[in-house]
Amino acid sequence: MSKLTVRDLNVSGKKVIVRVDFNVPIKEGKIKDDNRIVGALPTINYLLENNAKVILLSHLGKVDHKDPVKNEADKIKNNLEPVSKRLAELVDAKVTFVPVTRGVELEEAVKNLKEKEIILVQNTRYEKGESKNDPELSAYWASLGDLFVTDAFGSVHRAHSSTVGIAEILPSALGFLVEKEVEALGKAINNPARPLVAILGGAKVSDKIAVIENLLNIADKVIIGGGMAYTFDVALGKKVGSSLLEEDKVQLAKEFIAKANGKIILPVDSIVANSFDNPTDIKVVEGDIEEGYLGLDIGPKSIELFKKELQGAKTVVWNGPMGVFEKPEFANGTIEVCKAIAELPECLSVIGGGDSASAAKNLGFKDKFSHISTGGGASLEFMEGKDLPGISVIKEK
């Protein structure tokens, strides 16, 4: 797959609409983490350096369009204005925030936009038609620009007006952030150096069914940890006490184990506790977990097993932590897996967004991986082998 990128567009003097991912955490008007804004800067700065007029579109949070009271509250909470202030601090250009998503104020701002200047348009989800890829809304937004660049990897799995609708109308290309994502994930999933080892964690089997199915076909080993491992344990006849269990997925886990022909590697011990919120008894358990105790991390023997199975891997994809890493007493499994992957020589290591990306960053491993995805849902769908509509819509070179 070799899609058109922003380098393939003649942007000088043109109004370039860029779909960015500025869906950042904001509390009391203050941005708590500006990583997603920083992630868009290479594309934005490239456009400014090449004399473009830059129009930025992004969503922020969710907006309820069914309940008028909630709608107003959501709009106040998910206003993009604080983002425009932070962006203005990060770029050497004039940034104008337009507090509406359509109408005269927006049209005038676009008309008056000069080369090397930026407009940030209000939250795309203020528009009811955004998530429905409404043709009229797509056409309206497209009418504001000459070209379109998609640089919001966290949203390319959604067929919305701002991710797909505009791209169907205007000459379009990938921004640098999405290009990097497509290259890294494509190399890991579609054309991996072998052995390819996949590590899947997190709470539920149901969240990862399609990923497990796809990875069993393409990976050499699939290591499973986190809460989802207990459903597999029950499939093997073990007792898991009060651990997280999806009883309706036990049969499916049995089918996966049968189909895997030894590819699936499961934990052999657990760190268990007598309570999630206020544990007073924490211990290591092999085999059955007694009632009243729940598994909250992989144990020391599982860590050693997973390290052994990772040896020699040339490609590793990881999605989902090994335990409740937010709590220090249950973070060790995730930390040790991070370390083990980081120390692999000549290995392409890709973390598929979401909790595993947060874990890697929070635990100090941000620079130790080849690629940490910026899109949890999008990277998961990529690992499932699905088409991502926001990327599919962009023409091949």
As annotated, the active-site residues are: 36, 204, 354, 377
Other beta carbons less than 10 A from residue 219's beta carbon: 26
CA distance 133 to 341: 40
Furthest C-alpha separation in the chain: 69
Instruction: Tell which residue, 230, 238, 247, has the closest CA to residue 288.
Output: 238
Contact 125, 59 (CB under 8 A): yes
Give, for 31, the enclosing helix (H) or strand (E): strand 30-31
Q: Using the 8-state DSSP alphabet, how is residue 165 labeled?
A: I
Instruction: Tell which residue, 59, 55, 50, has the closest CA to residue 149.
Output: 55
Alpha helices per DSSP H over the chain: 35-49, 68-77, 81-90, 104-111, 135-142, 176-189, 209-218, 229-235, 250-260, 300-310, 332-342, 354-362, 376-383, 389-392
Measured CA distances, 259 to 192, 221, 308, 333 (Å): 21, 13, 23, 27
Contacts of 49 (CB under 8 A, 6+ apart): none
Single-letter amino acid code for the residue at 30: K
How remote is the C-alpha of 293 from its chain's centroid? 32
Contact 50, 11 (CB under 8 A): yes
CA distance 373 to 359: 12
Contacts of 333 (CB under 8 A, 6+ apart): 225, 271, 297, 298, 299, 302, 303, 321, 322, 323, 325
Structure tokens at 283: 């211990």
